[in-house]
Chain A
Amino acid sequence: MNDFDDDAADELTLHYRRASAADSSRPSQQTRAAISAQARKVMAYRTTRAADEAALAQMEASPAANDSRWRLRAVAGLAAVGLAGLLAMQAIRNTPGPDLPRATIVAPLTVQAPQTPEPVQAPFREEREVAASPGPLVSGGAMNSVQSAEKSVGADAVSPAAFPGNAMGTARPAASTSPAAGAPAPVAADSRAVPAANASTPRRLEQKLASAPTEDAPAFEIVTLATGDQRTDRHVMHLQRTRQARATLMTPNVTLKTLVGLAYDVQDSQVIGGPDWADKSTFGITLAMDQSVLSGALAGEPKVRLMLRKVLADRFGLELHREFRPLRAAALVVSEQGAKIRLSETRPGEWTGLKFAPHQLLGRGAPIRRLANDLFMLTGTTIVDMTKLDQTYDFAAQWSTDPGRPNFNWTTSWTGDGPGRTVWPGAPAPPNVSLEAALERQLGLTLQPGIFDVEVLVIDAANQPVTN
C-alpha cells in the first residue's frame, strides 16, 4: 500500500527543498573555473583530434610502409646507417650516461644535414606560430659531443619541437577517484574518445596535420629491431639526413613505453598499462626512410611520429586507448609575483633552444611547454604546463647541487649552433637554492604538486617483437 504518491513531492520533501533553496553554499570559484576550463579544453582537443585521426587514417590507407620493398631499400638504408650511425653512436658512446635519469629521458629528434650543405626545407620554421618552435637540432646527454658530431656534418634545423608533448590537465584537489569508474548505462564503454586535456602541444600539432590532408603517407623500412644496446645508458633518438638521400631514425635503447610516448607525443609517465616488459625490456630500432620525410607539410617529427605508430602497431601489435586518469604530477604555473621571463629577442640565425646543465638551465626562444617537458625529464614527475604562456621566451636559472637529482646535461637546439660559452651563464651555482625555488624566484614559475586529470595512453595489448 502506498503511503505517498509515487512521484509527487510530499510536504517533507517540499520542506526540504525550501531549506535547501535557502542554502547559499556553492562550489568554490576554483572548482567552477576548473570545470568550465576543462569543458573547453576537452572540446577543443576533441575537434582537433578528429583531424589527427583523419590524417592517420589517410596514412594507413596507403601501401604498408614495411612491405616487401623494405628488403631492397634496406640495403641502401644500411649503407646510410653506416655513416650516420657512426656519427650518432660516437655521440652516444662519448656520453657520460649513468648520471642521466634513464627511465624518463625522451630526446627530441635530432636532424642532421648532409656533409654537402643543401637547402633544407624547414616547414616548422615557417610555421613557428603553429608548431610553437622551429624544430630541435640537438638533444641528448653530452651536449658537447653531440654538438661536435653535428657540426662535423653541417647540421641544420629541420624538425619540429613538439616532441615529446607536455602533459596538460586541470588542477583538482588531492585524493581524486578514478574517472573511469562507474560509467552509467546510457554511455558506451568505449574510452577511445576520451579527449586529452592538452590544450597546447597536440592541438597545435594536429592543426598542422589537418592543414595537409593531401600529404603523401611517409614510407619507412625497419632496418633493425634488436634488443636494446645496454652500453647506451640513455634513450636517444636521432633523425638524420644521410648522403644517400635517406634519413635514418635511431633509438638504440628504448622501452616500449618510451616509444609509445614518442609516437604519441606524451611524457613517459602518461603511458600506462601493458605487459611487464613494456617498461623494462629495451629495444634498439633503426628506421630508414626516404628523405622526403624531412620535407613537406608534415616534415620531421609529425611524420616520424606517425611512422612510429605504424611500427608499434605492426611489429609490437600495440593496441591502446586514451583516457583520463588522475595522476600525481606537478603543475607549472605562473607564480603570484608574475613571470620573470621575457619574450624572446633572438634574431634569425641565433641559437634558440633549451639547455640543461648541472644546476643550470638556459632557454632562448623557448616555449614554456618545452621547458615543462624537460623538467619532467629532470624531476621524473609529470609536469602539467598550466602557465598559459604560449609565446617563446628567453630565460635562465641556477640552483644548488641536489644529491637527489641526476647530473643532468641536456640540450635541445632549434636553430643555430648552440648556446656556447658566450651566452651560457657560467656562474657557480648559488647555495641553498632548490630547483623549485630557482624556478619561482628567477623565472616566476611555480611547481605545484597535486593530482591532475591527465590524458594517458593505456596499453591494451602488446607483443614482444621479433628481432632481426
Chain B
Amino acid sequence: MDTVLASAAIMPLMGDATADETLMQRYARGDAFAFDELYRRHELKVWRFIQRSVANRASADELMQEVWFSVARQAPRYVPTAKFTTWLFTLARHRVIDAHRMQRPHDSIDESRQQTAQLVEQLSTAPSENPASQVQARQEREALISAVQRLPAEQREAFLLQAEAELSIADIAKATGVNFETAKSRLRYARAALKTMLQELA
C-alpha cells in the first residue's frame, strides 16, 4: 500500500502531461503554450500573494512581471526536485523581500489604503443574498484583508503561502528557508493574530 501511495505521489512530478512540473519542462523545450497554461493556473495565486504583501498596485504589477520573467528565464535549469508551486512562490517571496528592502518610493500608505478600499468596493459588488448580508460580508472581508496586510511580514508570508499558494507547512518551510517547526509557529501566530485583530474589530 505504501508503495502504491509513493508511486502516486511521484507521478505528478514525473509523467503527468498536465502537471506543473511537466509543463515547465515542456516550456523549456520550446512549448510556449505550456507557459501559458502555467501562467493561467497560477496567475491569481501569485498576484494575490504579491498584492497582499506589498499592498501597492504598481509594485505588484512590477513584481508580477519579475517573477514570471524569472520563471521563463530559469526554465532550462528548472529541475523538478520540488513542487513547482513551492519553487514559484519561493521566487515570488524573494521578489517581495527585494521590494521591501529597496523601499520603493512609490509605495505609499495612502495608496495602500486606497487600494484596500477599492478591493472592498469590488468585494461588495459580489452577489449576495440580501443587502444586509452583503454589507456584513463586505465588512468581514474588509477586516480580514486589512488584518492580513497588517500581519508581521514573516507571519503574513506564511499565512499567504498556505492560504493563497496552498502550500503545506513543509513546503512553506522550504520556500522560506526555515525549519518545519518555525514555519508552523509562524502560521500559528499568524492565525492567532488574525483572530485577535478580527475580534477587536467585531
Known: A176-B66, A178-B98, A179-B69. A46 touches B82 (CB 8 A): no
Q: Is chain B's binding surface mostly helix, strand, loop or mixed?
A: helix
Could you tell me if B144 and A15 are in contact, using CB atoms closer than 8 angstroms? yes
CA distance A24 to B118 in the complex (A): 10
Give a binary string over A162-206; 1 marks a CB under 8 Å from any B CB, 0 the rest.
000000001011011111011111111010011100000000000
Give a binary string over A24-57; 1 marks a CB under 8 Å from any B CB, 0 the rest.
1111101110111011101100110000000000
Within 8 A of B (CB), among A188-231: 188, 190, 193-195
Known: A19-B144, A181-B98, A182-B94. A193 touches B76 (CB 8 A): yes
Could you tell me if A39 and B47 are in contact, using CB atoms closer than 8 angstroms? no
Could you tell me if A42 and B145 are in contact, using CB atoms closer than 8 angstroms? no
B123 within 8 A of A: yes
CB distance from B59 to the nearest CB of A (A): 8
A22 within 8 A of B: yes
CA distance A324 to B102 in the complex (A): 19
Could you tell me if B141 and A19 are in contact, using CB atoms closer than 8 angstroms? yes
B70 within 8 A of A: yes
Within 8 A of A (CB), among B36-89: 36, 39, 43-44, 47-48, 51, 58, 60-66, 68-82, 86-87
Could you tell me if A184 and B90 are in contact, using CB atoms closer than 8 angstroms? yes
Contacts of B98 in A (CB 8 A): 177-178, 181-182
Contacts of B90 in A (CB 8 A): 182, 184-185
CA distance A26 to B36 in the complex (A): 16
Contacts of A183 in B (CB 8 A): 74, 94
Could you tell me if B82 and A25 are in contact, using CB atoms closer than 8 angstroms? no
Known: A13-B162, A15-B140, A25-B47. A46 touches B62 (CB 8 A): no
CA distance A28 to B162 in the complex (A): 25
CA distance A36 to B145 in the complex (A): 29
Across the A-B interface, the 7 shortest Cβ-Cβ residue pairs: A182-B94, A184-B90, A177-B98, A19-B141, A35-B68, A42-B72, A39-B35
Q: A4-B187, A178-B98 are in contact. List 5 more A-B contacts (CB 8 A).
A: A19-B140, A26-B44, A172-B65, A183-B74, A186-B79
Q: Which residues of B contact A (CB under 8 A)?
A: 27, 30, 32, 35-36, 39, 43-44, 47-48, 51, 58, 60-66, 68-82, 86-87, 90-91, 94-95, 97-99, 102, 104-106, 118-119, 122-123, 126, 140-141, 144-145, 148, 159, 162-164, 168-169, 174-175, 184, 187-188, 191, 194-195
7 A-B pairs with CB atoms under 8 Å apart are A9-B162, A23-B48, A27-B64, A36-B39, A38-B68, A186-B79, A187-B78
